[in-house]
Each structure stands twice: as structure tokens, then as C-alpha cells.
Amino acid sequence: MDYLSKFINYLRATKNLSDKTLKAYTCDLKQFFNFEKTILSPDICDFIAYLNTNLN
């Protein structure tokens, strides 16, 4: 089991989040991990700028 699955399972078990919220978290984190692979030093601010550019 990968870190993302463990984290989502943790949230499901401890935070009582809805399935839609967990699905959104999974999607967002997968996007970040894919973005992170394309740059040398990942930065959450760069990722937010990337999302802003690509989602608008």
C-alpha cells in the first residue's frame, strides 16, 4: 500500500470525512505528485500557480 492510500485510509478512519471529500483529496494529491515529478524542487506555491494557470 502506498503513502497516499495509507493517508486516505487514515482520514477515513479518524476524521469521518465524506467519500466525495476523500475522492477530492486523492485527486488533488495525485496531481501534486505528478507535478512534483516534473520539477527539481517542488513548492506548493508553484503548484498552486500551475493549477491556477491550467484550470482557468
Q: Is the confidence at residue 21, as pLDDT, over 60? A: yes
> What letter does residue 40 receive in the DSSP assignment?
S
Cα separation, 29 vs 45, in Å, equals 14
Cα separation, 18 vs 24, in Å, equals 10
Highest mean pLDDT: which range of 16-20, 39-43, 50-54: 16-20
Question: Across the chain, what does the average pLDDT equal?
Answer: 87
Q: Work out the percent of the chain whose per-residue pLDDT is above 90.
A: 45
Whole-model pTM: value is 0.71
